[in-house]
Amino acid sequence: MDEQVIIEFSDFSFQYYSQAEPTLHEINLKIHRGEKVLIVGPSGSGKSTLGHCINGLIPFSYKGAITGSLTIKGEDTQKKDIYELSKWVGTVLQDSDGQFVGLTAGEDIAFALENDNIPPEVMHERVRKVAEMVEMHYLLTSSPFELSGGQKQRTSLAGVMVDDVDILLFDEPLANLDPATGKTAIEIIDDIHQNSGKTILIIEHRLEDVLHRHVDRILVMKDGRIIADRDAHTLVSSDILVETGIREPLYVTALKYAGVDVSPEISPGYITTLKAEVTQTALTEWQDKIQSPPAKPKKPIILSLEDVHFSYDGIHPILQDINFDIQEGEIVSLVGKNGAGKSTLSKLICGFEKLDRGIIRYYGEDIKDKTIKERAEIIGVVLQNPNQMISKSLIFDEIALGLRFRDVPEEEIQERVEKVLKVCGLSPFRSWPISALSYGQKKRVTIASILVLGPRILILDEPTAGQDFRHYTEIMEFLEAINQLGVTIILITHDMHLMLEYSPRAIVLAGGRIVGDTAASVVLTNDAIIEKANLKETSLFNLAQMSHIPDGTRFVQRFIDYDRSVRHQ
């Protein structure tokens, strides 16, 4: 046996008992000690299942039929239980709230030690040491409600490293983080890799964000098979990403638009390694050819906030001096880090909370006297998790609910629901139970159940959270179609792609104040705003700078315009 191979799959297949087809097909894979491997693939490709096989959740929690073999450190995992495997493989799950079981960070880090019956004194010492490695040592007594998403994730990481595992497995580590925190997370993982020499596996579909730092190999999964296994440079130079439905790095898309031959020779795997001197001319010529779309005619102002102030307790202000106007038919992103006041702002607009001061106007009229129910007929809000909105088992009933509450006659309900079903592309499923729908379809049902009330403004909280590129595109194109019908859309998000591609304008909140209200291309190229709102500058801007294009912001805007025209052809 090769000492250097730490994980080895041989003709490994797996089928969940509840599924008709195997989820993994004849996987053959060797991972070497100390390697850093990224596993990408669209949802349903089997990448999470592969992770479950490595950490032992399969077959411990999820039963199914296994053929072939999987060995870790030379031992057959079928003969090991999850507890033995957890000493070798530490798993950091994507949902840091689910993984954070302790009442404080310290307790959570100690969790595995507690289960090993380590005496409290020894435990405190080890917890403090490992917490220092991820800079959480000064927050050990903090509860999860006092910690940010990034701090919770670092707690989780410390909680698995406390066991000195050989392999660290990250299951979608970026899914719930804002761009800046995601960037830091990738840096922390890389530092651990450099300093400890542990084997690192990252399962993630956000390729560009992981490639902020070097990875040794990238595995691409599709339909339960590994269809590619190569380094970053060769991978982004190929067509595999586009074919499997994984978003390629934005700067690579820009290079391709500009007609550059993206090949391993120009080291395009990471923005930092790209040989920009080769691509400079092509990019400059390309950007000069792009026509800006004609400015849109001014439309009436549908929503305006004037001097809005709010606090929960009268002491700590949550929102201050909020002023903005939104025109009919706009798509606006509301961005800012967690706790900046985005959700509170949407609650104020919907009437869930009352303003301390200021005015909210709808077509110029103050709406302070409208009840929650009345506001819902002009402004609809869609929660992030569709499961938190769905209370009926049939699609039709779910969508009709709001109308039934309003005692609308049954024939009219029939007619209005049918119409919305059609708009939302749900007509073929009208008699299906909601549980049989995919996440994206459920999302549509919740949007439909709000649209049926005829609101002119729709506020959506992270509409594409956790979705792969295909589902993201589906949801966003659906929202664009709704927007074409005249519905004004406000997106609460920290997805930078979403901002760039779908919302021409972004309102940026930080510390309860507006720190930016301008084009997405300006926001994502402005250092001050990026810093305040925990964003990250787009790689397009880096590309422009590396190519000595003088106006980086203009380059980004040109890219957006061009990209939009390509998508709409």
447 lines the binding site for another protein (CB under 8 A): no
C-alpha distances in Å from residue 465, one per residue of 40, 292, 386, 435, 439? 17, 31, 11, 19, 11
Write down the least CB distance from residue 258 to another protein, Å: 42
C-alpha distances in Å from residue 232, one per residue of 74, 171, 252, 271, 280? 28, 20, 12, 11, 21
225/223 Cα distance (integer angstroms): 6
Task: Give the one residue of 7, 123, 161, 276 binding another protein; rule: CB under 8 A.
Answer: 123
Sequence length of the chain is 569
- Nearer CB in complex with another protein: 21/527: 21
Cα end-to-end distance, the chain, whole Å: 55
159 lines the binding site for another protein (CB under 8 A): yes
User: What does the block give as tokens for 14?
Assistant: 């797996």
Task: Give the one residue of 27, 53, 112, 258 binding another protein; rule: CB under 8 A.
Answer: 112
- Nearer CB in complex with another protein: 195/371: 371
Count of residues interacting with another protein (CB under 8 A): 76
Task: Give the one residue of 147, 423, 450, 514 binding another protein; rule: CB under 8 A.
Answer: 450
Q: For the segment 161-190, give every residue that binds another protein (CB under 8 A).
A: 163
SS3 for 230? Answer: strand
Write down the least CB distance from residue 518 to another protein, Å: 30
- Nearer CB in complex with another protein: 108/208: 108
Write down the least CB distance from residue 255 to another protein, Å: 40
440 lines the binding site for another protein (CB under 8 A): no
* Residue 196 buriedness (CB in 10 A; 0-12 / 13-18 / 19+): middle
- Nearer CB in complex with another protein: 137/217: 137
Q: Any residues with CB less than 8 A from the CB of 548 and at least 6 apart, and which?
A: 280
270/537 Cα distance (integer angstroms): 15
Q: Any residues with CB less than 8 A from the CB of 22 and at least 6 apart, and which?
A: 13, 14, 15, 65, 224
Q: For the segment 494-513, give every residue that binds another protein (CB under 8 A).
A: none
Torsion of CA 551, 263, 234, 42, to 10 degrees: 60
535 lines the binding site for another protein (CB under 8 A): no
143 lines the binding site for another protein (CB under 8 A): yes
- Nearer CB in complex with another protein: 347/554: 347
- How many CB atoms are closer than 10 A to CB 550? 9
- Nearer CB in complex with another protein: 138/265: 138
Q: For the segment 26-55, give every residue that binds another protein (CB under 8 A).
A: 55
422 lines the binding site for another protein (CB under 8 A): no
- Nearer CB in complex with another protein: 446/547: 446
Which residue pairs from 98-103 have beta carbons closer than 8 angstroms and sit at least 24 positions apart in sequence? 99/156, 99/159, 100/144, 100/152, 100/155, 100/156, 103/143
Residue 518, CA atoms < 13 Å, CB-side half-sphere: 12
- Give the range of 87-95, 187-195, 257-265, 301-309 binding another protein by CB under 8 A: 87-95
Write down the least CB distance from residue 3 to another protein, Å: 27
* Residue 228 · residue 240 · CB < 8 Å: yes
- Give the range of 229-237, 279-287, 433-441, 531-539 binding another protein by CB under 8 A: 433-441
Q: Any residues with CB less than 8 A from the CB of 279 and at least 6 apart, and which?
A: 255, 258, 260, 266, 547
User: What does the block give as tokens for 301?
Assistant: 């102002």
128 lines the binding site for another protein (CB under 8 A): no
Task: Give the one residue of 48, 49, 77, 104 binding another protein; rule: CB under 8 A.
Answer: 104
Task: Give the one residue of 11, 76, 116, 187 binding another protein; rule: CB under 8 A.
Answer: 116
Task: Give the one residue of 34, 44, 68, 102 binding another protein; rule: CB under 8 A.
Answer: 102
* Residue 306 · residue 323 · CB < 8 Å: yes
Q: Any residues with CB less than 8 A from the CB of 238 and at least 6 apart, and which?
A: 228, 230
- Nearer CB in complex with another protein: 55/553: 55
424 lines the binding site for another protein (CB under 8 A): no
462/204 Cα distance (integer angstroms): 18
SS3 for 242? Answer: helix
Task: Give the one residue of 3, 313, 369, 527 binding another protein; rule: CB under 8 A.
Answer: 313
142 lines the binding site for another protein (CB under 8 A): no
- Give the range of 7-15, 123-131, 478-486, 526-534 binding another protein by CB under 8 A: 123-131
57 lines the binding site for another protein (CB under 8 A): yes
390 lines the binding site for another protein (CB under 8 A): yes
Per-residue binding letters, 339-378, with another protein (x by CB under 8 A): --------x--x-x-------------------xx-xx--
Q: How many helices (H) and strands (E) does the chain have?
A: 24, 20
Write down the least CB distance from residue 135 to another protein, Å: 20
Beginning with the edge strand found earlier in the chain, give each strand of the sheet holding 199-203 in spatial order. 89-92, 167-171, 199-203, 36-40, 217-222, 225-230
Q: Any residues with CB less than 8 A from the CB of 186 and at least 6 apart, and which?
A: 173, 174, 209, 210, 212, 213
431 lines the binding site for another protein (CB under 8 A): yes
Task: Give the one residue of 281, 285, 307, 405 binding another protein; rule: CB under 8 A.
Answer: 405
- Give the range of 2-10, 138-146, 485-493, 504-512 binding another protein by CB under 8 A: 138-146
Give the 3-state secondary structure percentages of the chain, helix then strand then coil, rounded to 5.
Answer: 45, 20, 35
- How many CB atoms are closer than 10 A to CB 565? 12
329 lines the binding site for another protein (CB under 8 A): no
Q: For the segment 242-301, give every residue that binds another protein (CB under 8 A).
A: none
Write down the least CB distance from residue 158 to another protein, Å: 12
160 lines the binding site for another protein (CB under 8 A): yes
Write down the least CB distance from residue 367 to another protein, Å: 14
Task: Give the one residue of 74, 197, 293, 433 binding another protein; rule: CB under 8 A.
Answer: 433
Q: Which amino acid is at 63?
A: K
Write down the least CB distance from residue 61 to another protein, Å: 6
